[in-house]
Structure 1
Amino acid sequence: MKRGPGYREFVTLMAVMISITALSIDMMLPALPEIGRDLRVGHANDVQLVVTVLLFGMGIGQLVFGPLADSFGRKPVILTGFVIFIMGCWLSVFSSRFEVMVIGRMIQGIGTGGPRTAILALVRDQYGGRAMARIMSVVMAIFIVVPAIAPAVGQAVLLTMGWRAIFGVLMIQGFVALTWFAVRQPETLSRDDRIPFSGSRILDAVLGVCKNRRSMGYTLASGFIAGALMSYLSSAQQLFQEVYGLGREFPIYMAVLALFVGGASFVNSRIVMRFGMRALSHRAVLLFIVLTTMFLAATCQMGGRPPLWLMMAFFAPSFFCMGILFGNLSAIAMDPLKHMAGIGAAIVGSLSNFISSSSGALVGRCYDGSALPLACGLVILGILTAIAMRWSEKPPVVKR
């Protein structure tokens, strides 16, 4: 059997692969006005599709690639995903119409669904227990840093080479990851452990998630709270640059908020064994609703344009609550699905992506030159998250 990379190389490779998703979203934000002008977008809010459609495509990719990874192996699925991602980047680089750009972003999202779904399975195949936890902690640490620096990287590329070069950078990273992975990483799923691909199996898994109250409720909750983050990402460029006039400085403010999300993930890993996932999640969502409701009240009182310092003062702890919720809600949703972990993860991930991308796009479309639509969206999505959590833990009615 071909020898794989050592521990350090393996962790670095996984980090490079998983960071492509975050870069694909956050590097675009500084370039949205330029893309809108060059491609003659009719409505300013339409350019937000460059962000949200990628997440929607990722949901499709996860749903397709999850079962394929169990049937044909991890390596073919990951390589195929990268090829599709590179094709989508190429289409975006040379797009002359906004519709073509959106299609390219959709293809990129579908492509990222392959690595995103198969990486966790790949790690599970080779490591277990504390070793696996150690690897995933390092990989997630990269995921913390990338959203913080990606807008600044995108801004630098935009100023020096133009917005099309951002897709070129993503295409190069995808090619490097594809080549590195193809050469150094052997297949980790033996032929004896592969499960035949069938539509009935996928349907059974979907029904299994839908019928399980806890899995379904926490999947919905995960989608709603991720939708709150996507609402912010959809509106962030317009909000920071148009309402607050930050210009090229807005990546700094985005980096600060991204670090609060990432810092919460680190804190959660330290305290979750002591307090438990559910207790932390309930407290975090309650605090999120309180904070965002207070921000909504302040925004209404100030004509939709609260001072920047006030918005950051509310957003920082709110985003910290989001970071606590992200990992916990997904873990609780997956807990009853141990018998179908691979395809279950794909279904949970894709459904939450569909919810977050559609809700984020809806809130973003409501942007009216003020912070009010975003403030309303955060409150509503926080409440929906709490309702879904509450419903999932309510005992089902037994018919007599």
Structure 2
Amino acid sequence: MARTRRYGAAVNGSTTQRTERSVIAFLAFIGILMAFGVDAALPAFDELSESFDLEARNLSPAITGTVYFVGMALGQVVYGVLGDRFGRRPILLIGIGVYALGALVSAIAPNLEVLLAARFVWGLGASAPTVLRMAIARDLFDGDRMARVVSTVAAVFLLGPIIVPIAGEGILLVGSWRLVFGAALVLASIAFVWTLRFGETLADEHRRTLRFGPFVEALEAVVRTSSTRWSILSMAFFTGSFFVWLGSAQVILDQVYDRDSQFTIFFGLSGVGMAIALMSNGRLIDRFGIRYLAVRASVAFVVVAAIGTIAAVAADGVPSLWVWFGWACVANALNMILGPMSSAIAMEPMGDKAGMASALLGLTQLGGGAILAAIVDARIDATVTPMVVGALVYGAAGLGCMVLAVRSPVTD
């Protein structure tokens, strides 16, 4: 299909036309807006720890990311339901406003309690682009085409882990962690204006009421549809493994390998690997289809996790830096490949319930993933063994759910 084909949705009798590239650019940017709240904070972990005396409180700086993820998870059902009723654009604008408020209060927080509350609010705002970008993609595309678009969006989105930590490091050269958090206000302003210009994508005939009955009906449809249900659960397990990397990579580089000063470089390199994998995803989907590839990528993840576990155990939990980092790059690349395919499988039967399905996908993926990651993060001290064993256990569970998803009919 030509890249110049235009897509639109009838809204109040008119149709807004967009090129596929403009859709990808917009969805990728609001995704980066969401990720900025996590990635920009990573280089500032040491400053945050010192500012709020986290070590004396026996707390990891990762707690600031945990509350952010919890806010993202809890906000998604609300934004998903409201997005199905009032449209994507007005609800996305509200979410961006909440995002900006959370970022502002985080930047000026006088104590840890205010910071954590503000980070939670920041996450609530970030949940709007998280859930609605998937719903927007489903409004405009379906099937393999949606998987290709989501893969491309994810590949562009992965510029975030490469650029954002470097930007955060640069800001820390001239200011404190407060200035890093304040920079999110600039991104929020751009996203607000772009959302106004992008227009609405939810067709009028697909809008749902806020009555409790239709809400329960949509919820039951999502849970009852086997391919959707199992895909969502599969993604939760694989996301849990990836969140362990986000929450513990800095700790491992610091405490296990004494390379804390090079964290930004390693984190950026991992993002390059993930982006390369995703950029090749579209061609593979065209050739083999998303269900075939999803199972094969899940199997590959489990194999890689098993190899990593063997290597870690053989080295008493401390393999060479490059063995561990090479393993992490391959595992993360497979994880990123699985994300768009799992989402497409889950969303395929949910045409008129895309907001609810995307909300449940995000709630389970982020909330479940954060809880699963916290279990592993708490066990990481002087070895990488918990990370690789966690990846093996979660990968095996994710593979089982994925097999059930692809063997299920598209509709039940």
TM-score (norm 2): 0.86
Q: Which of residues 66, 74, 85 in structure 2 aligns to 1:60?
A: 74
Q: Which of residues 113, 123, 129 in structure 1 aligns to 2:127?
A: 113
User: Is residue 89–residue 199 contact of structure 2 (8 Å, CA) maintained in 1?
Assistant: yes
Aligned mates of 2:146, 2:394 — CA distance in 1: 33
Partner residue of 1:282? 295
Aligned mates of 2:207, 2:219 — CA distance in 1: 20
Q: Deviations over 1:86-135 (max 9, x none)?
A: 11111211223223222212111111122233334446657889998887
Aligned mates of 1:134, 1:294 — CA distance in 2: 30
Partner residue of 1:34? 47
Q: Identify which range, 242-251 or 128-137, moves more after superposition.
A: 128-137
Q: Identify which range, 103-112 or 290-299, moves more after superposition.
A: 290-299
Aligned mates of 1:40, 1:259 — CA distance in 2: 34
Partner residue of 1:324? 337
Partner residue of 2:246? 233
Q: Which of residues 260, 268, 278 in structure 1 aligns to 2:273?
A: 260
User: Secondary structure of the equivalent of 1:46?
Assistant: coil
1:130–1:273: structure 2 CA closer, same or farther, 3 Å change rule?
A: closer
Q: Does 1:380 align with 2:393?
A: yes
Aligned mates of 2:318, 2:166 — CA distance in 1: 25
User: Is residue 135–residue 354 contact of structure 2 (8 Å, CA) maintained in 1?
Assistant: no
Q: Which of residues 169, 186, 192 in structure 1 aligns to 2:183?
A: 169
1:290–1:52: structure 2 CA closer, same or farther, 3 Å change rule?
A: same
Identity of aligned residues (%): 28
User: Is residue 140–residue 201 contact of structure 2 (8 Å, CA) maintained in 1?
Assistant: yes
Q: How far is the alpha carbon of 1:74 from its aligned partner?
A: 2.0
Q: Which of residues 44, 61, 84 in structure 2 aligns to 1:70?
A: 84
User: Is residue 144–residue 263 contact of structure 1 (8 Å, CA) maintained in 2?
Assistant: no
Q: Does 1:340 align with 2:353?
A: yes
1:203–1:271: structure 2 CA closer, same or farther, 3 Å change rule?
A: same
Q: Please tell me the residue identity of whatever aligns with 2:228.
A: S
Aligned mates of 2:152, 2:303 — CA distance in 1: 32
Q: Which of residues 273, 287, 297 in structure 1 aligns to 2:286?
A: 273
Q: How far is the alpha carbon of 1:188 from its aligned partner?
A: 4.6
Gaps of 5+ in 1: none
User: Is residue 295–residue 375 contact of structure 1 (8 Å, CA) maintained in 2?
Assistant: yes
Q: Deviations over 1:280-323 (max 9, x none)?
A: 22222222222222222222232222110111222222222212
Bigger share in helix: 1
Q: How far is the alpha carbon of 1:137 from its aligned partner?
A: 6.2
Q: Does 1:145 align with 2:196?
A: no
Q: How far is the alpha carbon of 1:64 from its aligned partner?
A: 0.6
1:345–1:167: structure 2 CA closer, same or farther, 3 Å change rule?
A: same
Q: Deviations over 1:144-200 (max 9, x none)?
A: 211222221112212321111111001221123224434x34445466653211233
User: Is residue 264–residue 320 contact of structure 1 (8 Å, CA) maintained in 2?
Assistant: yes
Q: Which of residues 196, 205, 221 in structure 1 aligns to 2:209?
A: 196
Q: Deviations over 1:298-352 (max 9, x none)?
A: 2223222211011122222222221221111121222333342232222222222
Q: Deviations over 1:177-236 (max 9, x none)?
A: 224434x34445466653211233232222222222222111111011011110111101
Q: Does 1:209 align with 2:212?
A: no
Partner residue of 1:291? 304
Q: Which of residues 92, 97, 109 in structure 2 aligns to 1:95?
A: 109
User: Is residue 305–residue 371 contact of structure 1 (8 Å, CA) maintained in 2?
Assistant: yes
Gaps of 5+ in 2: 1-11
1:162–1:191: structure 2 CA closer, same or farther, 3 Å change rule?
A: same
Q: How far is the alpha carbon of 1:381 from its aligned partner?
A: 0.9
Aligned mates of 1:133, 1:272 — CA distance in 2: 8
Aligned mates of 2:330, 2:383 — CA distance in 1: 21
Q: Does 1:369 align with 2:382?
A: yes
